[in-house]
Amino acid sequence: MKKHLAVLLSAVLLLLPGLTAGAVAGAPAVEAGAAVLMEKETGTVLYEENAHDKLEPASVTKVMTLLLVMEAVDDGRLKLDDVVTVSAHAAGMGGSQTYMKEGEQFTVRDMLKAVAVVSGNDAAVALAEHLAGSEEGFVELMNRRAAELGMEDTCFVNCTGLPAAGHLTSAYDIALMSRELILNHPGIREFTTIWMDSLRDGAFQLVNTNKLIRFYEGATGLKTGSTDAALYCLSATAERDGMELIAVVLKSPTSDQRFETAKSLLNFGFANYTLTDVYPSQALPPTEVLLGEKAQVQGVLQRSSRILIDKAELNAVTTELRLSEEVEAPVEAGQKLGEMVVLVNGEVRETIPIVASEAVERLNVPGIFLRFLKTLFMAG
C-alpha cells in the first residue's frame, strides 16, 4: 500500500472537507500501521492512513490521563502544589517509572512532570487515584470523556497503556484527545516541552522520551509509547508561524521510524498549509433599525475569520457580504444581521455570521410621536 501512497494521497485529500489536492505536494513517508495529521485550531485532518484501525496505544494512553488532570487543575479541583501520596498499587506498576515508593509524596506538578517527560506509570496511577479515588474509577472517567469527544474507536482499560485485553484506540481518536489537551489546556506545555529535568531535589534525573522536543523545530509535545504488541507509538505536536499540528503514529516498527514518520507528517503539513485571517473586503456598514431608540446598529463578525488553507490558494480567497438592509426593533446584542461568506477559487469555504454589536430598544409610543413630529418639522 505504501508504494502507492503518493498516488492515493490526492484522492484522499479530495475527500477532506474544505480542502483540495490541487497544489499539495510531497506525500509524507509513513512507516507505521496507522497515522493521522490534524491541525489544532480547526480540527481538520490533513493526512490519514488507517485512521480508524483499533490498535494498542501503549503509553500514548496517557494523553487522556494528562487531559483529565489538566481539566481538574484548570477548573480548580486540583492545584499544582497539592500533595499526592503514592499507594502500594501505584508503586507496583512497573514498566516506565520513576521508582516511587509506597507512602512517598510528590506535588501534582512533579507528578505531571514524571508522566509527561518519562511516561511514569507509577505517577500516572498515583494521579488517577488522587483524582478519582481508584484507578478503576479514573478509567471510567477516561471512557466517559472519550465518548464526549467522539472517540468511537476507543476503550480504555487502564490509565497507563500497559498491555491489557481490550485496551484499544485509533490514530484518529488519539488526535482528537491530543487536540482537546493542547487547544484548551495550553498549560500542559510547561511539562511536555521539558527536555531534561529532575525529581527529588535533583536526585532523580529525567530525560524526555520524545526526542522531537530537542531535535525538531517548534516541537511542543506530546507523548510517546511502546510495548512489544503496540510497537512504537507517538502523538507529536509542533507549532510554526502560529499553526500547531498533531501527528499521530501507531505501530511503527522502530523508535527511530516513529520519529521520522512524525517529522515527515509535520513537515508535510507545514510545507503545504497555513492559517490565515480573512477580513471583509469593505468596512461593515451599519444596519438601519426601524422603530428603534437608535436609528442604526453596527454589525460585527461573530467570531474569528481564521481559516486553514492550502498555501497555493492564498491569493484565491475572496469574501462576500450578505447584510439585511434593515431590522425592526427591539434588537438584541448578538442578533444575526447577515453573514460574511468566505470563498476559495469561487467555492464557499466558510460562512461567518454578522451580528449586532449592541442592543437597541424599541421606541415607546411617546417616542414614536416625537420622532414623527421631528420628521414633519425637518420636512417643513
pLDDT tens readout for residues 356-366: 999 999 988 66
How large is the average pLDDT for residues 30-52?
Answer: 97
CA 306 to chain centre: 15
- Window from 57-61, 82-86, 279-283 with minimum mean pLDDT: 279-283
Burial of 148 (0-12, 13-18, 19+ CB in 10 A): exposed
Query: Is 119 annotated as catalytic?
Result: yes
- Window from 20-24, 105-109, 257-261, 327-331 with minimum mean pLDDT: 20-24
Cell of 221: 509535545
Backbone angles phi, psi at 342, to 5 degrees: -100, 125
How large is the average pLDDT for residues 272-291?
Answer: 93
Q: How big is the CA angle at 125 (ends 122 and 130), to the nearest 5 degrees? A: 125
Q: Which amino acid is at 177?
A: M
Active-site residue (options: 87, 96, 119, 252): 119
Active-site residue (options: 62, 113, 211, 223): 62
How large is the average pLDDT for residues 222-226?
Answer: 98
Mark out the alpha helices in 97-187 (DSSP H runs). Answer: 108-118, 121-132, 135-148, 171-184
pLDDT tens digits, one per residue of 1-13: 443 433 344 333 3
Please tell me whether the peptide bond between 330 and the residue prior to it is cis, using omega within 30 degrees of 0: yes
Between strands 273-277 and 83-85, the pairing is unpaired
- Tell me how far CA of residue 265 lies from CA of 196, 245, 370, in angstroms: 25, 9, 67
Chain-wide mean pLDDT for the chain? Answer: 91
Q: pLDDT-derived band of residue 19, with 50, 70 and 90 as boundaries?
A: very low
3-state SS assignment for residue 16:
coil
Cell of 304: 474569528
pLDDT tens digits, one per residue of 80-137: 999 999 999 999 999 999 999 999 999 999 999 999 999 999 999 999 999 999 999 9
The predicted structure's pLDDT at residue 62:
98
Asked if the model's pLDDT at residue 21 lies above 50, the reply is no
Cell of 208: 524526555
Name every residue whose Cβ is closer than 8 Å to that of residue 296 and which is 6 or more positions away in sequence: 286, 287, 288, 289
Query: Is 324 annotated as catalytic?
Result: no
Asked if the model's pLDDT at residue 23 lies above 90, the reply is no
The predicted structure's pLDDT at residue 374:
65
Asked if the model's pLDDT at residue 195 lies above 50, the reply is yes
Write down the pTM of the prediction.
0.85
| Closest alpha carbon to 332 in 275, 371, 365, 292 | 292
pLDDT tens digits, one per residue of 150-161: 999 999 999 999
Q: pLDDT-derived band of residue 216, with 50, 70 and 90 as boundaries?
A: very high
Name every residue whose Cβ is closer than 8 Å to that of residue 73 and which is 6 or more positions away in sequence: 79, 80, 108, 185, 187
Asked if the model's pLDDT at residue 284 lies above 50, the reply is yes
How large is the average pLDDT for residues 57-80?
Answer: 98
Asked if the model's pLDDT at residue 57 lies above 60, the reply is yes
Query: Is 357 annotated as catalytic?
Result: no
Q: How many CB atoms lie within 10 A of CB 362?
A: 15
Distance CA 232, CA 87 (A): 29
Q: pLDDT-derived band of residue 304, with 50, 70 and 90 as boundaries?
A: confident
Q: pLDDT-derived band of residue 26, with 50, 70 and 90 as boundaries?
A: confident
How large is the average pLDDT for residues 204-226?
Answer: 98
Asked if the model's pLDDT at residue 14 lies above 80, the reply is no
The predicted structure's pLDDT at residue 368:
62
Asked if the model's pLDDT at residue 24 lies above 60, the reply is no
